[in-house]
Amino acid sequence: MTWSDDLNACAGIVERGDPLRFRTAMLAPVAQRGALFALYAFNVEVSRAPWVTQESMIAEMRLQWWRDVLEEIASGETVRRHEVATPLAEVLSPEQAKLLDELVAARRWDIYRDPFEDAADLSRYVDQTAGHLMWVAASLLGEASETSVRRAGYAAGIGAWLRAIPALEAAGRVPLLDGTPDGVVALATGGLSALTHARRGRAGISRACGPALLLATAAEPALNHAKTHPQSVIEDALPETGFSFTLRAATGRW
């Protein structure tokens, strides 16, 4: 896609709001970086929407605005002018727009203080947020097995979720179904199992998709640490991405 002032703005939003995804997007071919910046800037804006106000109705309206944008994209209507929505409309297919609408709808959980109903409810949230995002990113870059990409997305999502637990609890949310160390270990183990499953399907994912899947590699140190030291989750002491991510980013092998 042609570079524009809008894409410069998207890149800035991602660099400030999601530095890790900014780093991975920079590993994509120049011609495809713009698509990732538009997608990831959208994700920053949607992720932020439930947290910029204490008024649930205003937060709902912010999310609905993005759902309206995605409906315009999915239906082929003229998309409202916006520094993120405009370039996003240039890269998404109607099917991708519908998936991202589910992502926005899932983010409504962030507005309220209700716990997840059960493990399936939490897994659905992770898949509709991290999974949908990774699948759309990968499909913008190349050919891939959706099942394997979604398993990698689940691993990345659980890693990010465990890292966010202290902040979520401080904000009055209930992020864990089982707040005991055993419950943390079970989540981390599930994330690692999903990553193993994704890597077994690596042959079905083109090398071009690598930058989209590196978020799963970035989550691996936190998942491993949470599995062996579950108390570190509550103490906000999970490790950063580390050398393995840097090495894999350099080689392109997630």
For the chain, what is the HEC assignment? Answer: CCCCHHHHHHHHHHHHHCHHHHHHHCCCCHHHHHHHHHHHHHHHHHHHHHHCCCCHHHHHHHHHHHHHHHHHHHHCCCCCCCCCHHHHHHHCCHHHHHHHHHHHHHHHHHHCCCCCCCHHHHHHHHHHHHHHHHHHHHHHHCCECHHHHHHHHHHHHHHHHHHHHHHHHHCCCCCCCCCCHHHHHHHHHHHHHHHHHHHHCHHHECHHHHHHHHHHHHHHHHHHHHHHCCHHHHCCCCCCCHHHHHHHHHHCCC
- pLDDT above 90 for 251: no
pLDDT average, residue stretch 131-155: 98
Q: pLDDT of 47-69, one tens digit each?
A: 999 999 999 999 999 999 999 99
Residue 248 is predicted with a pLDDT of 74
Q: What is the percentage of the chain residues whose pLDDT exceeds 70?
A: 99
Where are the domains positioned within the chain? 1-104, 114-254
Mean residue pLDDT across the chain:
95
